[in-house]
Amino acid sequence: MRTEGNEDAVDETTTDTFVLEGSLVAIMAVACGIAVANLYYAQPLLDTLAHTFGVSTGTAGLIVTLTQLGYALGLVVLVPLGDVLNRRRLIVTIMLGTAVALAVAAESPDIRVFLAASLAVGTTSVVAMILVPFAATLAQDYNRGRVVGQVMSGLLMGILLARTASGFLADAAGWRAVFWAAAVLMLAQAGVLWRMLPDVHSQRRLSYPELLVSVLPLLREEPVLRRRIVYGAAMFATFSALWTCLPFLLSRPPYGYSDSLIGAFGLIGAVGALSASAAGRMADRGWSRATTGAFLATVLFSFWLMDVGSESLIAMIIGVALMDLGMQGTQITNQSEIYRLRPEARSRITTAYMTSFFLGGAVGSSLSAWLYQFYGWRGVCVLCMGFALVALLFWLTEWHSKPAS
């Protein structure tokens, strides 16, 4: 497949003539990881940023809040554009915008400028959610799940490594170097994607308001999408609840871990990233229904284990690994299935699915923090087992429906 320059401009309806090469899949996976990492660079630096700008830790915490709000905003206002605009140009343009926002963050003179830059960074980092459906569009039917799994593996590794890389670089060269390095990475990646991505034109003509409104009928007309939203929202609720409250548990006896050790705990999530491609391959083989149930049951069991073994380091490590494997496996299976629905609406399907996904995470995070305050770690585990059980019971109703999903 030739992918250089405008010579490769084709109509989206002809993408089945392309052979999506492994090298391009790898490039898209790396691009997703680099893009989503921007959401997490500031998290280990909050205390340093609070001191630099002379603000309270509560004010510094707004950095994370505004970054996440920006991401939600981008899902709604930018991701649907992938269904009507030239994706190659859209992706590169948004990446250039991210680079500018990161440079502003790096040179921020005060907290107000940094907060505004954080909002912009979050909004433009949704480019990863344009790349994933683009990869699904370029893939063939027989390997779409595998391709989505490989691209999502890159995204997951970006999430896992961002905090660690940020901390090490900040210690070595200061916090501003973190954001300058991220800006350079985005510029470099934009150049690579401009050269390598096929120049695919869409023939759909919708006004911007019509485009945004057209997301809603998808929810009404696609039962598979609605079902997969329930699974995804429930699983991300458990994920967010765990990582909101786990630092509280690990910082107290019998653990008493430092911030760096608690951060390193996140590397256990590599198990989930490694499972992504396997989950995609199983979806390609038509095993989505059975594997979804297995992944949901894995998450349910993981929180039972972390509840009864809350004072055992081995039990906690196994529990976190199983939770991440189940959550990420469900996520990849969900995306493999929803991208089989309407090829012409994959970006809008992404908006519907991922917006619900992050709403589930917000619910899980807020409820778990409140429950931990009154009921401790057991309250968090019971909440997460409840989310997983509801999803598993809903999965049982799938066996009475005709279409496999």
Question: Does some domain include residue 405?
Answer: no
Residue 36's Cα: distance from chain center in Å? Answer: 7
Shared domain check, 72 and 205: yes
How is the chain split among helix, strand and coil, in percent rounded to 5? 85, 0, 15
Cα(309)–Cα(324) distance, integer angstroms: 17
Structural domain tally of the chain?
Answer: 2
Q: Which of 180, 198, 213 is the last residue of a domain?
A: 213
Shared domain check, 208 and 351: no
Say whether 127 sits in a helix, a strand or coil: helix
Shared domain check, 98 and 169: yes
Cα(267)–Cα(333) distance, integer angstroms: 22
DSSP 109: S
Shared domain check, 307 and 223: yes
Contacts 24+ apart (CB under 8 A), 47-54: 48/170, 48/175, 49/111, 49/114, 49/175, 52/175, 53/108, 53/110, 53/111, 53/114
CATH of the domain at 227: 1.20.1250.20
For residue 186, what are the domain limits?
Answer: 6-213
Q: List the pLDDT tens digit at each of the 405 positions of the chain.
A: 434 444 444 445 444 555 567 788 899 999 999 999 998 888 777 778 888 999 886 677 678 778 878 888 898 889 888 888 888 999 999 999 999 999 999 999 999 999 999 999 999 999 988 998 888 888 877 777 778 778 877 887 887 788 778 878 888 888 999 999 999 999 999 999 999 898 876 666 677 788 888 888 998 999 999 999 999 999 988 987 887 678 778 878 888 887 667 667 767 876 666 666 677 778 778 888 899 999 999 999 999 999 999 999 999 999 999 998 999 889 889 988 898 888 878 888 988 898 888 788 878 877 887 888 889 999 999 999 999 999 999 999 987 655 444
Shared domain check, 272 and 353: yes
Q: Which of 148, 180, 213 is the last residue of a domain?
A: 213
